[in-house]
Every structure is written in structure tokens, then in C-alpha cells.
């Protein structure tokens, strides 16, 4: 009976570990997060304006590099947190490159060139980068750091998926209409 119970627990743990999401590989063997989105009613110019507004809103973590009449390239970073029970602290950052291309009624974007830079505490108690040179996420670590690297990959994927969800929401909403409605409302009762 106890062997059956141990076997049952092992099967459940394998199923849970197999359901983890992972980055797919591109043609050059690097991790990539790629998505093509069809938008029925939005023209290309409006998509580019919305993408620029989204990228300019978060200047601390995203820096725009190049932009043309149909594409945008930007560099960004995500802070990876390490949580133990209740307390958490940043364990490092993942740098990436965001590419965005728009056409009439559809757009595509992809995040690639992921690099991990670990953090450590400085003498003031702040978490700072240990080096400026990052380690590619595709690089597999040794046996000692395999568990920690797996957690970093999982956290990086989750942060990337959350970023992609926010990016799609920003491109789906019309920011100009929101700004116009806020500007037109004038209250004469409060002054």
C-alpha cells in the first residue's frame, strides 16, 4: 500500500513539473517569445502610436532604440524576485530586446536575447548587479545551480507572459479617446 502511495505521489509530481511553461527556441537556438495578433479595426498608424505610448510610459525598464514607419526596437529589463515564505528580495534582472512590427489590422512582436544578471547586496544593503555582462538564459548551468536556474527560467517566463499581456491590452485600448474624455470634463461646482 505504501509503495502504491509513493508511486502516486511521484506521478503527480512529474505531471506538475511537466506542465511548466518554457520559452520556445528560434532558428539560432535562442529563447524567444513570439506572437502575431490580428486586430480587425485598428490601422497601422494607430498601432504604432499605442506601442510608442506604452513604451514611453515605463522609461525605467524600457529604452527605445530604433523606430521606423512600421517597426520599433527597444531594450528592456525585468527584475526577478526570489521569495522565501513571506519575505522576498530581487535575485537578479533579465535583459531582453523587444521587436514590434505593425501592418494594417495586425501586428507582431517578439522578445529575444534574454540575459540574466545576478544581484548581490552592497555595503548599504541595496541589491545591485554583480556584473554588467549577462549570462544567456539558453546556457545550461552545472548540477549545483540547476534548481536555482530552473526557478529563474520559470520566473522569467512568467514575467515575460505578464509583460506580453499588458502590451496587448495597451494596443487594444484607444489611449487618445481616454485622454480626450478626461480633458473635456470640467466641473464648475468645485473650485
pLDDT tens figures, 117-152:
999 988 998 888 888 888 888 888 777 788 888 888
Pairing of strands 135-136, 87-103: unpaired
Cβ atoms of 64 and 127 closer than 8 Å? no
Three-class secondary structure of residue 133 per DSSP: coil
- Tell which wins on pLDDT, 66 or 115: 115
| pLDDT at position 148 | 84
The chain-wide mean pLDDT, for the chain, equals: 81
pTM: 0.76
Alpha helices in the chain (DSSP H): 2-18, 44-57, 146-172, 175-184
Question: Which residues does 140 contact at the CB level (< 8 Å), separation at least 6?
Answer: 146, 149
Q: What is the dihedral of CA 41, 44, 49, 54, to 10 degrees?
A: 70
What letter does residue 113 receive in the DSSP assignment?
A: E
pLDDT value of residue 20: 64
Q: Which residues fall within 8 angstroms of residue 172, CB to CB, at 6 or more apart? A: 39
Calculate what percentage of the chain has a pLDDT beyond 70: 80
Could you give the CA distance from residue 82 to residue 127 in angstroms, rounded to a whole number? 12
Question: Is the separation of the CB atoms in 81 and 68 below 8 Å?
Answer: no
Residue 123: CB atoms within 10 Å: 5
CATH 3.30.410.10 fits 22-171, yes or no: no
Q: How much is the pLDDT for 7?
A: 56
- Rounded to whole angstroms, the Cα distance separating 98 from 118 reads 21
pLDDT at residue 74 in the model: 92
Amino acid at each position: 500500500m505504501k509503495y502504491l502511495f509513493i508511486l502516486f505521489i511521484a506521478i503527480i509530481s512529474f505531471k506538475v513539473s511537466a506542465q511548466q511553461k518554457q520559452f520556445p527556441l528560434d532558428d539560432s537556438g535562442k529563447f524567444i517569445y513570439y506572437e502575431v495578433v490580428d486586430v480587425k479595426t485598428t490601422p497601422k498608424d494607430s498601432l504604432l502610436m499605442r506601442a510608442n505610448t506604452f513604451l514611453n510610459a515605463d522609461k525605467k525598464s524600457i529604452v527605445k532604440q530604433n523606430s521606423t514607419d512600421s517597426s520599433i526596437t527597444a531594450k528592456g529589463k525585468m527584475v526577478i524576485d526570489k521569495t522565501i515564505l513571506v519575505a522576498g528580495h530581487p535575485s537578479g534582472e533579465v535583459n531582453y530586446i523587444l521587436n514590434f512590427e505593425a501592418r494594417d489590422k495586425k501586428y507582431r512582436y517578439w522578445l529575444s536575447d534574454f540575459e540574466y544578471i545576478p544581484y548581490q547586496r552592497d555595503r548599504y544593503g541595496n541589491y545591485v548587479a554583480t556584473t554588467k555582462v549577462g549570462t544567456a538564459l539558453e546556457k545550461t548551468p552545472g548540477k549545483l545551480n540547476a534548481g536555482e536556474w530552473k526557478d529563474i527560467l520559470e520566473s522569467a517566463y512568467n514575467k515575460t507572459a505578464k509583460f506580453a499581456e499588458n502590451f496587448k491590452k495597451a494596443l487594444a485600448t484607444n489611449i487618445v479617446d481616454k485622454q480626450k474624455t478626461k480633458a473635456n470634463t470640467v466641473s464648475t461646482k468645485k473650485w
